[in-house]
Amino acid sequence: MSHLYQLQKKIVSLNELVQHLAALKSQHKKIVFTNGCFDILHKGHVQYLSLAADLGDVLVVGLNSDASVKRQGKGDDRPVNNSDARALVLAGLGFVSFVVEFDDNTPLKLIETIVPDVLVKGGDYDPQETEPGSKKYIVGRDVVLKNNGRVEVIDLVQGFSTTSIIQKLKK
């Protein structure tokens, strides 16, 4: 089996993911979920994702579709890389188990469907925030907590962001 094929197998539809996770949950594997655009993968992303993976047995990354990234208001030139490219790069990380694309503004439906054991977000979010309108609110926290899971926040790596990389390239 080629390495490329192995990476492509990690990029799954929601239906495929549900089947994989049912089997893994029956083996008492702890499912960790995080999400993002991951437009230009950098040190901050890799450190964040590796620390997220350490919180369980299986790391699922919800990847914003191209349309979803555009709706985030990150700029007309975003995403820089299309979802196929971003998914393959994420799948190339050994500690990422599955990549699943979602088209909604938030991953709530995805979280409600897979009900991870651990929901992870970056340090710009607050796991104690309960007001959905707040920028610090972690979407899906209620679903995870109601199902005896936990919500974790991982510190961001200072000096690394896709926006700052794009700004440097434009100079």
Specify the pairing of strand 11-12 against strand 118-122.
Answer: unpaired
Residue 29, domain extent: 3-170
Task: Report the CATH number that the domain containing residue 120 is assigned in CATH.
Answer: 3.40.50.620
Full-prediction pTM beyond 0.85?
yes
> Cα separation of 22 and 13, whole Å?
14
Number of domains in the chain: 1
Q: Which helix (H) or strand (E) holds 50?
A: helix 43-53
Task: Give mean pLDDT in consecutive 10-residue pieces for the chain, a chain of 171 residues.
Answer: 94 98 98 96 95 98 96 86 98 98 97 98 94 95 98 88 73 82
pLDDT at 141: 97
Q: Please report the pLDDT score of residue 131 as a whole number.
A: 94
> What gap in Å lies between CA 87 and CA 90, rounded to an integer?
5
Contact 167, 135 (CB under 8 A): no
Give the pLDDT of residue 77: 85
**Amino acid identity at 115:** V
Tens digits of residue pLDDT in 49-84 = 999 999 999 999 999 999 999 998 877 888 999 999
Number of Cβ within 10 Å of residue 169's Cβ equals 9
Which pLDDT score is estimated for 159? 74
What is the model's pLDDT at position 162? 72
DSSP, collapsed to helix, strand or coil, labels residue 129 as: coil
